Amino acid sequence: MKSLDLTKSALSNTLRSKLRTALTVIAIVIGAFTLTLTSGLGAGINQTVDRIFGGFGVDDVIYVVPQMEADAQEQDGPPEYDPEAGVEPEDGFGTGMLSAADVEIVEGLDHVVGVDTEVAAQLEYLQAPDGGQYQAQFDFALNDVLAEFAAGGAPDRGEMQITLPEDWLEIFGTEDPEDALGQTLIVAAPNAVGQTTEFEAEVVGVTQGTLAGVGFTPIPSVALAEEVADINAEGYEGQMPEAYIMAAAEIENLEANEDAVKDALAAEGLWGLTVEDQIAMFEAVIDAITWILSGFALIALLAASFGIVNTLLMSVQERTREIGLMKALGMSRARVFTLFSMEAVVIGIMGSVVGIGLGLIAGFVTNGLLTADDGPLGGFAELSLFGLDPFAIGGIFLLIIIIAFLAGTLPAARAAKKDPIEALRYE
C-alpha cells in the first residue's frame, strides 16, 4: 500500500465512528484553542510594549537611578529610625534620589557626552486662557519620548513648553487636538512658605494614554519642570539639597560602551538601564504569565491524548479481522503501525486546525471590541491585546501533531503485533 493510499485509508477509517472521533477531536480543539489564545495574548502585549518602548529615549541613552542597598533589600519590615544617622545635603535627601554629586559623577564618566536630569516638581494649578484653574500633577519630563501624540509632539527640553492629555481639550472648548497647539497656559507653583508664583507655558502636544502610564497627565519640558522645582525651593530655610529622580546619560557609541558605562555606574552605587533592559523586564513578566496560562492548555492536551489512545484502541479491537486480512495479504507490521499512527495524526490535525482557527478568530474579534475607540480599553494608544505570531502558531500545530502521534503509538503497536491467523479467527 502506497503512502497516498495509507493517507486516504487513515482518513476514511477515522471517519467510520463519527461521534467517537468528534468527541476526541473536541478535546484537542479545547487545548489548541486555549494555547492559541494565550500565545496570541503574549504576542499582542509584547508587540504593544515594543511599540511603546521603541521610542523610549534615543538609542544612545542610559537612564540612571540609585541602587537600593543590599541590607534594605534583605530587611523585613520598615527600618528603625536612627537619630545618629543624619542626612547630608549632598545625599539627595536620603530618599533614594540622585544627588548633585551623583550627577557630577555620571557627567565625568568615560563615553558620557551629556546628562539630562529629572527633578521633583509640585504644581498648584494650571490656568486655561479663559481663566479656569485646574488641579494637575506633572508626568516625568524625561518621559516625553515615551508618549503617543494625537497632535503635535514632545516639548523642546530647553523651552517653557508642555503637553496635555486628550481629555483636557475641553478647557479650550474643542475636541480637535490641533486646536490646542500653540495655546498658552498659566503654570502656578507653590514655594516652601505657601506663596504661589505664576508663569506661562506653551502647549506643543496632545497625548494619548499608553500602557506605560504615560500621556494621562501633562508632560512638562525639562526647563519647565526645573522652573517649578526652583519655585518650590524658594523660602526654604537652610541649604536646599539638590536631588533628582533620575538622569538620562547620552552615551557615545552605546553598543560598544554599554557594559563599561554600566560597570562604572555600579561601582559608584548607581544603576543604569537602557531601552532594551526596560523592554526585557516587561516582556519577562508577560512571558511568565503566558507560560503559566499555557500550562493549563497543555493539561487539556494531555487529557485529549488519552482520548486518542482510547479511540484507537477501540478501533483496533473492532477491526481485528480486518487487520488479520491486511497482514494475510502481505501488509507488513511497519505498514500497519503507520496506518494507525496516521489515524492518530489525522485526529490531531483536525483538532489543531479547528482549535487554532477558532482561537485566532476569538482573539482578533475580542481584541477589536476591547480596543476600539468606544471600547473599554479604547483610551490606550495603539494597545493590542492579541497578536499573530506565526512561529508560535506553527509550534502549537507541530506540538499537537507530536502529541497525537505519541498517543497513537500504543494502539498502532498493538495492531502491528497481531498474529494474522488469530486475527482472522476473531469474532
Amino acid (1-letter code) at residue 215? G
Q: Do 286 and 49 touch, CB atoms closer than 8 A?
A: yes
SS3 202: strand
Answer yes or no: do 35 and 138 share one domain: no
pTM of the model: 0.59
86-127 per-position pLDDT tens digit = 444 444 444 467 888 888 888 888 888 888 888 888 888 899
Query: What gap in Å lies between CA 361 and CA 210, rounded to an integer?
Result: 25
| Domain boundary residue, one of 232, 256, 274 | 274
Same-domain check for residues 151 and 98? yes
Instruction: Count the Cβ atoms, other than its own, within 10 Å of residue 127.
Output: 18
Q: Would you state the cell numbers that stand for residue 356, as one nine-digit string?
A: 487554532
On whether both 373 and 292 belong to a single domain, the answer is yes
One-letter identity of residue 66: P
Q: How far apart are CA 118 and CA 230, in angstroms?
A: 13
For residue 135, the tally of other CB atoms under 10 A from its CB is 8
Instruction: Tell me: do 170 and 301 sit in the same domain.
Output: no
Do 129 and 265 share a domain, yes or no? yes
| Structural domain of 389 | 3-53+281-425
DSSP state of 138: P
Q: Which residues of the chain have pLDDT under 70?
A: 1-6, 10-11, 15, 50-59, 68-96, 210-215, 237-241, 373, 375, 377-382, 420-421, 423-427
Q: What is the DSSP annotation of 240-268?
A: ---EESEEEEEETTHHHHHHHHHHHHHHT
The H or E element containing residue 424 is helix 420-425
Hey, which residues does 380 pair with through a beta bridge? 209
- What are the backbone dihedrals phi and psi of residue 204, each rounded to the nearest 5 degrees, phi first? -120, -5
Residues 35 and 76 in one domain: no
Set of cell numbers at residue 419: 498474529
Q: Strands 196-208 and 161-165: what pairing? A: parallel
Give the CA radius of gyration of the chain.
Answer: 33
Looking at the fold, whether 68 and 185 belong to one and the same domain comes out as yes
Do residue 249 and residue 310 come from a single domain? no
Q: Please tell me whether residues 30 and 68 are part of one structural domain.
A: no
Cβ-based neighbours of 208, under 8 Å, separated by 6 or more: 147, 148, 149, 150, 165, 166, 215, 379, 380, 381
**Which sign, positive or negative, has the C-alpha torsion 308, 310, 311, 316?**
positive
Domain check: are 135 and 250 in the same one? Answer: yes
Output the pLDDT for position 72: 45
Q: Are residues 23 and 90 in the same domain?
A: no
Assigned C-alpha cell, 158 = 530647553
Q: Which of 274, 293, 323 is the last residue of a domain?
A: 274
Q: What is the pLDDT of residue 94?
A: 43
Query: Structural domain tally of the chain?
Result: 2
In this structure, are residues 247 and 115 in contact, taking their beta carbons and an 8 Å threshold? yes
pLDDT tens digits, one per residue of 215-249: 688 999 989 998 998 888 887 766 666 778 888 88
CA torsion, ordered 356, 362, 364, 366, to nearest 10 deg: -160
